[in-house]
Amino acid sequence: MAEIIEVLKDIMFYVIEICTAGLEFAGIIVLVSTAFICFVKWVRRDRENIRLDLAQGIALALEFKMGGEVLRTVIVREMGELVVLGAIIILRAAMTFLIHWEIVNEKKEMKEAAKARAAVKRANRQKASASGSAQSGSEEADYYQEVEMTYEDNFRRPSLGHHAPNDDE
């Protein structure tokens, strides 16, 4: 019976090692592909969402890497290994938190910029109109529709094969 338990422990050890390596490899693939795509956008001068795309890719890569570390805790046998693993998890969690904070702030800045651009367009339309009358309800609706469209164009469009969340966090 003890031999069967030892064989099962060995099998579990190898399965976890393979899964951990797979998760970490997935994180590396996500990070490298995101960096490459953002670099290509930068070279093409399509720089509107590069920071946001890169931050989202880094955050996703860190999630894969952290998943591998959490899985690795199952096979830790010594206290020293657990302390090192815990420190790695804490550092990666802190980095993920900071990146998510950066993403939220970047989205807020982009939404404010979209509102400002829409306001300038609206002001230009009002100046161009010969009537000079007060803004009608349809013009106000056009303004809000334009802000939402600009918002959609900036960071709710598909990016790196996934959609950004619909909430503003």
Confidence of residue 163 (pLDDT cuts 50, 70, 90): very low
**Is the predicted pLDDT of residue 70 greater than 50, yes or no?**
yes
Mean pLDDT of 80-96: 86
Tokens linked to 64: 């894969």
Please indicate, yes or no, whether the overall pTM of this predicted structure exceeds 0.85.
no
Position with higher pLDDT, 64 vs 110: 64
Q: What's the mean per-residue pLDDT of the chain?
A: 79
Tokens linked to 5: 């338990």
**Is the predicted pLDDT of residue 34 greater than 90, yes or no?**
yes
Q: Are 26 and 64 in contact (CB under 8 A)?
A: yes
Calpha distance 78→80 (Å, rounded): 5
For the chain, report the end-to-end CA distance as a whole number of angstroms. 53
Task: Give per-residue pLDDT as tens, 7-30.
Answer: 998 898 899 999 999 999 999 999
Mean pLDDT of 45-66: 87
Mean pLDDT of 145-156: 56
pLDDT of residue 32: 96
The CA-based angle 20-22-26, given to 5 degrees, is: 120
Task: Give per-residue pLDDT as tens, 107-139.
Answer: 888 888 888 888 888 888 877 775 555 445 555
Tokens linked to 24: 């970490």
Calpha distance 2→13 (Å, rounded): 16
